[in-house]
Amino acid sequence: MNEAILRINNLFCGYDGNIILRGIGFEAYKGEIISIIGPNGSGKTTLLRAVSNIIKPAKGEIIIQGENLAKISHKELAGKIAVVVQAVEPAFVTVEEYVLLGRLPYFRKYQFFETKKDMALARKYMELTDTFKLKDSPMSEISGGERQLASIARALVQEPILLLLDEPTSHLDITHQVQILELIKRLNRELGLTVLMVLHDLNLASEYSDRLILFNGSGGYIYKEGIPEEVITRVSIEDVYQTEVLIKKNPLSEKPYVILVSKT
């Protein structure tokens, strides 16, 4: 069996004493793409914030490559986990400067400038994400899809073993949605990168994921976990989303896809 990059055991967490996630437990293995799906407010983003150590568990534990998250320093964690948020805010820096920010966890004491290795890694991942041509462009002057690609490049220069993405296709047109997810799939295959991402679009999640974790709508727990064919079923989707659907099979990939049923 592959190495468990992430292991979550009986996790309870939330905000200001309000518990959102209740008894969450699963494992992510090296080279997997796992998508977290579920209705708004079900705890998907809360889970990513817990794994990235933004919020602390009230109970349970998060294990990263065999080590308890609570015992890992922020600097060490930045070399293990990289996060891509929903929407990248325009910044008054160039794309290259923005990408190089991902190397800050590797700066030594009193180091003020990037090394040749830092510059080489930035170029490598800008080329991989097709953003090198934009390296001198201000982040504030490029499109939302291009900013998302630059954000992925910045995450990659951290050289993580686990990439977390919170709705990476949010607010993007279908062309950029496919571009982002095809890139993630390519990174997964070429770098052996483990990916845990939150997606709202059930069909994209089904198409691009090895496994899905479906959160219940109100209880903050996992309703079902498994390969897309096990999770994307009519009973599961109607039960969790309270919406009538049809489930068909993609004629090319044979992955399940969801069709909404009009009530008019």
Q: Which domains are delineated in the chain?
A: 1-78+189-264 (3.40.50.300), 81-159 (no CATH)
Report CA 136 to chain centroid distance, whole Å: 27
Model confidence pLDDT, tens digit, residues 29-59:
999 999 999 998 889 999 999 999 999 999 9
Count Cα atoms within 13 angstroms, Cβ side, for 254. 2
Q: Which two tokens stand for residue 75?
A: 């600097």
DSSP lists the bridge partners of residue 12 as 59
pLDDT at 111: 60
Q: Which residue has the tokens 């096990």?
A: 230
Model confidence pLDDT, tens digit, residues 156-168:
999 999 999 999 9
Q: Using only the alpha carbons of the chain, give its radius of gyration.
A: 19
Rounded-to-integer distance, Cα 29 and Cα 36, Å: 15
Q: Which of 14-18, 83-87, 111-115 has the lowest mean pLDDT?
A: 111-115
Query: Which band of pLDDT confidence, cut at 50, 70 and 90, is reported for residue 27?
Result: very high
User: In the sheet that 67-68 helps form, which strands lie side by side, from edge to edge?
Assistant: 18-29, 4-15, 59-64, 67-68
φ, ψ (nearest 5 deg) of residue 97: -65, -40
Rounded-to-integer distance, Cα 63 and Cα 82, Å: 16
Q: How far is CA 264 from CA 240, 243, 260, 261, in A?
A: 22, 14, 12, 9
pLDDT at 164: 96
pLDDT at 182: 94
Do residues 208 and 232 touch, judged by C-beta distance below 8 A?
Answer: no
Model confidence pLDDT, tens digit, residues 106-147:
766 666 667 888 889 999 999 999 999 999 999 989 988 899
Q: What's this model's pTM, rounded to 2 decimal places? A: 0.91
> Which carries the bigger pLDDT value, residue 115 or residue 152?
152
Sign, CA torsion 221/224/228/234? negative
Do residues 156 and 82 touch, judged by C-beta distance below 8 A?
Answer: yes
Query: Largest Cα–Cα distance of the chain, in whole Å?
Result: 66
